[in-house]
Amino acid sequence: MAAGLSGVFIMIKGGRISAHYPHKVENSKEKMTATSDFKEVNESYTLAEAVKEAQRCLHCKVPSCRKGCPISNDIPDWIAELAKGNFGNAMRIINNRSNLPAVCGRVCGHERQCEGNCVLAKKGAHINIGKLERFVADFDSDAGLTHEAIPEKSRGRVAVIGSGPAGLTIAGDLARQGFAVEIFEMETEPGGVLMFGIPEYRLPKEVVRREIKKIANLGVIFHLNTTIGKDFTIDRLFAEGFDAIFMGTGTGVPKRLDIPGASHPAVRQAIRFLRRVSLSENGYIDRGEVIVGNGDRVFMVGCGNTAIDAARTALRMGSAEVTVVYHRTIDHMKALRAEYDDAVAEGVKFLWNTSITRIEALDDKRLKSVTLTSTDGTEEVRPADHVVMAVGSAPASRIVDSTDGIDVDDHGYVLTRENPYGMTSRKGVFAGGDVSGRPATVVHAMRDAKMVAEGIARYVDAIKLLEAIGGENTDTKG
């Protein structure tokens, strides 16, 4: 750990992650019963099923599935190994491109990416690549097959701000290349959106913790409950001896719609609602602090994956009725069709070509109704207890405001350059993932982060070379 830095951190001791977390709340038996439906909804393959599915692969000479994967995973190669029962080899091939296979196997948009590009998809019989990737990752972890060597940390020191998909990818890639990496995370546990933004029924948190342990096993140190821009600054990190700093802080500030009544306390933000549910499920807060649920009539504004996640979560928290309101048609929704189908099967209702144009309060704590206006001008008033907004988010400005020389665009996204890829206008400070405005999903954030990792490695190698040859003007930090 860097000299002078403190805070909650986790590191490997004897092959295990030791951690110092805040006291967890013992939630009631009633709460546990109410949320029992958070069990993962999609079952894994058995070993026999996985091998049989892998054997259906045609091993195309020009694999379109690989072209459809944002991180260019060598899909036919590891599927071929899986088909022969070589699970360790399959995992090794996957690890060459992905730091989070158990996550990607569950939450990637396979229908629009690898599986959607499979040649067998034309016949409606694509290889279930995501489910196979999930099987390989889970099998490898359960069997303890993979043990990566920890390379000597001699190439330089890198600080990573944020432990979401981008931050974890940067850390894993650079640690494997011989960099000493430390992650600074403001939450009680690492994982970012993987831990606090994607519901348990889609991505079990033990799976996330398992993937994070793999990153920690590479020698990466995690500082928890540590906010950069508040507890420490960019300048302080450079003063502590870091050669480069990566900002992977995501977009944590929800966007709002200008609707009469939208400032009422019963109007919630989807990303904050999902975070509270995750905190409750993991014992950090009491069930009563989640607010939404308990027979409520809930209206969800937006139709991306976050909106669908929040809608299905609201049902699991005990809401009587959940309705997604979207101003366009089903063909324009950003959510995956599979997620929509699951939501409908669970009882979520959808209103297309419709917007909420007014929110009426019953008192200072409860809502009375919402006014729904369709694109043809028809209005309808319906009773409502909560409205949840899922209309996008923007970056927080805490780091930028506390640091000189980091430029942002008109929307607050950090501006970066192409060479070295990902570096901001502040020398030695890099950014990637949602905070730079590029990615849209977990795997897209990973793809961007892998490119930034290459940029960081090139930059640090260059400044180390200049220092070694005693070149002039080698003040490269800040």
Instruction: Kindly report, residue by residue over 158-206, the tens digit of the pLDDT.
Output: 999 999 999 999 999 999 999 999 999 999 999 999 999 999 999 999 9
pLDDT band, very low/low/confident/very high, at 12 (cuts 50, 70, 90)? very low
Q: Tell me the two tokens of residue 250.
A: 């995501």
pLDDT tops 80 at residue 37 = no
Ranking 97-106, 282-291, 397-406 by mean pLDDT, the lowest is 282-291
pLDDT band, very low/low/confident/very high, at 120 (cuts 50, 70, 90)? very high
Cα separation, 9 vs 6, whole angstroms: 8
Output the pLDDT for position 27. Answer: 44
pLDDT band, very low/low/confident/very high, at 478 (cuts 50, 70, 90)? low
pLDDT band, very low/low/confident/very high, at 477 (cuts 50, 70, 90)? low
Distance of CA 5 to the CA centre of its chain: 26
pLDDT band, very low/low/confident/very high, at 151 (cuts 50, 70, 90)? confident
Cα separation, 310 vs 41, whole angstroms: 15
Q: What is the pLDDT of residues 332-358, one digit of tens each?
A: 999 999 999 999 999 999 999 999 999
Q: Give, in order, the Cα–Cα distances in Å from 57 to each of 83, 111, 310.
A: 9, 17, 35
pLDDT band, very low/low/confident/very high, at 247 (cuts 50, 70, 90)? very high
Output the pLDDT for position 471. Answer: 59
pLDDT tops 60 at residue 472 = no
Nearest to 97 by CA among 137, 49, 144, 143: 137
Verify cis geometry, omega within 30 degrees of 0, for the bond prior to 204.
no
Output the pLDDT for position 141. Answer: 93
Q: Tell me the two tokens of residue 107.
A: 């939450």
Output the pLDDT for position 233. Answer: 95
- 3-state SS of the chain is CCCCCCCEEEEEECCEEECCCCCCCCCCHHHHHHCHHHCCCCCCCCHHHHHHHHCCCCCCCCCHHHHHCCCCCCHHHHHHHHHCCCHHHHHHHHHCCCCCHHHHHHHCCHHHCHHHHCHHHHHCCCCCHHHHHHHHHHHHHHHCCCCCCCCCCCCCEEEEECCCHHHHHHHHHHHHCCCEEEEECCCCCCCCHHHHCCCCCCCCHHHHHHHHHHHHCCCCEEEECCCECCCECHHHHHHCCCCEEEECCCCCEECCCCCCCCCCCCEEEHHHHHHHHHHHHCCCCCHHHHCCCCCCEEEEECCCHHHHHHHHHHHHCCCCEEEEECCCCHHHCCCCHHHHHHHHHHCCEEECCEEEEEEEECCCCCEEEEEEEECCCCEEEEECCEEEECCCEECCCHHHHCCCCCCECCCCCECCCECCECECCCCCEEECHHHHCCCCCHHHHHHHHHHHHHHHHHHHHHHHHHHHCCCCCCCCCC
Nearest to 258 by CA among 301, 299, 292, 296: 301
pLDDT tops 70 at residue 418 = yes
pLDDT tops 70 at residue 48 = yes
Cα angle 41-46-48, degrees, rounded to a multiple of 5: 150
What mean pLDDT do residues 211-227 have? 95
Output the pLDDT for position 86. Answer: 95
What mean pLDDT do residues 422-439 have? 91
pLDDT band, very low/low/confident/very high, at 476 (cuts 50, 70, 90)? low
- CA atoms within a 13 Å half-sphere pointing along the CA-CB vector of 368: 8
Output the pLDDT for position 15. Answer: 35
Output the pLDDT for position 431. Answer: 96
What mean pLDDT do residues 106-131 have? 94
Better-scored residue on pLDDT, 458 or 5: 458
* Mean pLDDT of the residues in the chain: 89
pTM: predicted TM-score of the whole model, two decimal places = 0.89
Output the pLDDT for position 439. Answer: 63
Cα separation, 256 vs 253, whole angstroms: 10
What mean pLDDT do residues 2-16 have? 44
| 392 CB burial (10 A radius; 0-12, 13-18, 19+) | middle
Range 37-74 burial, b when 16+ CB lie within 10 A, else e: bbeeeeeebeeeebbebbeebeeeeebebbebbbbebb
Contact 161, 236 (CB under 8 A): no
pLDDT tops 80 at residue 32 = no
Output the pLDDT for position 413. Answer: 92
Q: List the end-to-end C-alpha distance of the chain, in Å, as a whole number.
A: 21
Cα separation, 163 vs 275, whole angstroms: 15
The percentage of residues in the chain with a pLDDT greater than 90, rounded to a whole number, is: 77
